Structure 1
Amino acid sequence: MPSGIMQSCSRCRMQKRKCDRRLPICTLCERLKRPCSYPTFDEPPAVVPDPRELSCPTIRDTLHKQISAFVGNSQQVADWTAEYFRTIHLWLPVLSQTNFYTRLQSVQPETDSMDFSALILAMNLVCSKSVNAALTTPTRALYLLVKTLVSTLEADGVNSLEMVQARLLVTVFELGHGLYPAAYISAGANVRAAVDLGVNAGSDEQLVETFGSREIVEEAQKVWSGIIIADRSVRLRCSSVSGFRST
């Protein structure tokens, strides 16, 4: 076995199947005509919350540790966000670059603001690429972390513009990688979270009262447009899949 390659390919490890570790594609994946990839030890470690540590008294501390392991230092955050604004933002402008960097300068995302941390992690997630049409182990771990963080904050009563933006980016990730029914469920939850926040309020006066400034109102309106586009895209996709019909 070549140096640095794990004992099994990513798909066999995930499904707990016996893998013969043959390169470039293991025998089982070849027979099933499935993508096959081998994560190496050079990749960052998978960071998935331990369910035993997610009791009510410790859940936030546990998630802070998981976030810190992924977020790393300020230079890593800068690299992530620069990649996002250089790529995804060009065709999905649902974040204000000015507002984002203004807030980034005033917080420590790995410790101070859970909803802002969720947004930063979602920005990194949506920029992730598959390998041989399959998600890498670190990407799957990051996906699970962001989903856990969003669910935890939701259960704790947190709903903010950053949370809605993070939700939308997760849905775009799910849509882009064909993760169903997760994308379908997420798209519906996005609409309800945005409505609860007042993103779709009728008049400009109501929006300014809700968000405090016209700059944030403009950002919120772009988020609402992105949510509607994502929801319609997911519905169109689901309606074309045999045995899965949206209503």
Structure 2
Amino acid sequence: MPRDELLNKPLPRLCRECNYTEAAPPNSEHLTLLRSYQLTPFAPALIQENIKQQAFGLTGGESGCRACCIKYFESIHHWFPVLSKPKFMGRLPELCRAPSAGQSLLVLCMLLLNTPPTESGISGQARSLYTLVKSSIALIQAGYEASLELLQSQVLVKLFEVSHGIYPAAHDTNIANTIRALASTSYGRLHLWEKNHEGGLVATEEVARIWQAVVILNRYLGLQNSSTIYRTTEILSPTQLFATDGLKSGMVGATSAADLSASKTPLASLVEASRLLEQALTHVNNPTIRQDFNAAEAIQLIKTVIAYKHVLTESEVTSPSRLASQVDICNSALLSVFELGNHLKIPQDISCHFSSGLFRDALINEVVSAAKQFEGSLASTNLSDLCPFSLHPILKAAVILASSSNNSDEFHRRQSIESLKSVLHHSSKRWYIAKHYFMELQSVDSGIVTT
């Protein structure tokens, strides 16, 4: 083939020919309408109305709302009085008839806490309600609606998470940030503070309760995460919060039986018990390199907690069971130290009570006796009244018993452990954290028995 023809001949195609066409330009008016339609459900007014309707429908109307609130105050309020019952009951008619979004959210949180788990865990209905409540809190915050009920709802959700062992959600500290943010707003100045007899500003009773509850729950979380100690005295101190804003708390913790009886503020004594728990956990999880100092500190902690527990039991004579949750937290502090104390070398000049471990044995016997009493009265026991703070001492007492190798009465030891296991198993029908404790105890006990 001549050279000219070869050059003019088209080259063979290696692939098919592609024709690219440009899409038609979008209709900007259509997209704007579409975006507006998609965002409409997130308008603050619609969000608030939706929360009201959800609360009204899930509780069963006005009568159901009233029954839900009464059930909450007859059970959970006894051992964790974060709400002011007189003030709440004064607002109850309005709350059931024409509630705000914040009030409806608070009722949903009460309903959530009133809902028990199933054998396999948190029920599907409770999980859906939990998701609804958490998302509603976020939506209300995004809508810039500040309210006392929003803070109270956040505390109740945190209590639900702690009581059922929902982690890591329970470690969220947004409540403290919310309080700090509200403290600087005009709403906060008008509704979160009040003037005292000297003309200064102090936190209202309801705000003080919220802050105390936040401190208690954050300290209590240290039991579930031994690698982290929550420095609530530095991060979540009411005094520091109020000092930042030039305010005074006006809430002083009771330190004697007379103070507890006079103040009638069990939440304040619960704060004090949680402070002792925090000190005990710091001692257990962050010891010094000096063994003699660790031993002396442990003994001082034990003396302090036992003394405060004595104050609580003295004041409890006039008001049975009013301070049961405080005693439970003190027992958690003591048993945490006693568990570590199995390896401590006690100085010779210390009382024989400490050297012989009589305090430890007496406390374990106290927990076991209460467990056996609980077992014997299961038929007549109302699990709705059960305090989740009472479950951790049961776990610790059982772990100490399971690891005790010098116990001469093996039959009694095994019987006690089985009683404690039984209580945890039955308690999981109310608070699912008991199931977590039961599984942990099973693992510890089976490992020790095997070895």
CA positional deviation for 1:245: 8.6
User: Out of 160, 177, 180, which is 2:167 matched to?
Assistant: 180
Matched, 1:226 2:213: yes
Which residue does the alignment assign to 2:143? 156
Which residue does the alignment assign to 1:89? 77
- The answer to whether the 8 A contact 2:109-2:153 is kept is yes
Amino acid at match of 1:196: A
Which residue does the alignment assign to 1:196? 181
- For 1:26-77, what per-residue CA distance to the aligned partner results, in whole angstroms no more than 9, with x for missing partners? xxxxxxxxxxxxxxxxxxxxxxxxxx79832444444343333213222211
User: Out of 105, 116, 119, which is 2:103 matched to?
Assistant: 116
Which segments of structure 1 move beyond 4 Å, counting only runs of 4 or more? 244-247
Identity of aligned residues (%): 28
CA positional deviation for 1:198: 3.0
Q: Label 1:115 to 1:106 Cα distance change in 2 as closer, same or farther (>3 A).
A: same
**Aligned residues: CA RMSD:** 3.0
CA positional deviation for 1:178: 1.0
Q: Which segment drifts farther, 85-94 or 100-109?
A: 100-109
Q: Label 1:79 to 1:112 Cα distance change in 2 as closer, same or farther (>3 A).
A: closer
Which residue does the alignment assign to 2:68? 80
Aligned counterparts of 1:65 and 1:76: Cα–Cα separation in 2: 13
Aligned counterparts of 2:168 and 2:72: Cα–Cα separation in 1: 25
Aligned counterparts of 2:203 and 2:110: Cα–Cα separation in 1: 19
Matched, 1:129 2:82: no
Aligned counterparts of 1:228 and 1:221: Cα–Cα separation in 2: 11
Matched, 1:55 2:76: no
CA positional deviation for 1:207: 2.6
Aligned counterparts of 1:131 and 1:193: Cα–Cα separation in 2: 33
Aligned counterparts of 1:246 and 1:220: Cα–Cα separation in 2: 21
CA positional deviation for 1:113: 0.3
Amino acid at match of 1:208: E
Which residue does the alignment assign to 2:57? 69
Amino acid at match of 1:104: L
Matched, 1:143 2:130: yes
Matched, 1:239 2:240: no
Which of these two proteins has the greater Rg computed from alpha carbons? 2
Q: Label 1:207 to 1:71 Cα distance change in 2 as closer, same or farther (>3 A).
A: same
Aligned counterparts of 2:180 and 2:50: Cα–Cα separation in 1: 30
More helix by share: 2
Q: Secondary structure at 1:166's aligned position in 2?
A: helix
Aligned residue pairs: how many?
181
Q: Secondary structure at 1:239's aligned position in 2?
A: coil
Q: Label 1:232 to 1:64 Cα distance change in 2 as closer, same or farther (>3 A).
A: same
Amino acid at match of 2:66: A
Which residue does the alignment assign to 1:8? none
Aligned counterparts of 1:230 and 1:133: Cα–Cα separation in 2: 25
Amino acid at match of 2:76: I
**Length-normalised TM-score, structure 2:** 0.37
Which residue does the alignment assign to 1:35? none
In the alignment, structure 2 segments of 5+ residues that lack a partner are 1-37, 185-191, 232-451
Aligned counterparts of 1:54 and 1:91: Cα–Cα separation in 2: 42
In the alignment, structure 1 segments of 5+ residues that lack a partner are 1-51, 200-205
Aligned counterparts of 1:174 and 1:139: Cα–Cα separation in 2: 12
Q: Secondary structure at 2:116's aligned position in 1?
A: coil
CA positional deviation for 1:159: 2.4
Q: Label 1:66 to 1:182 Cα distance change in 2 as closer, same or farther (>3 A).
A: same
Which residue does the alignment assign to 2:243? none
Which residue does the alignment assign to 2:342? none
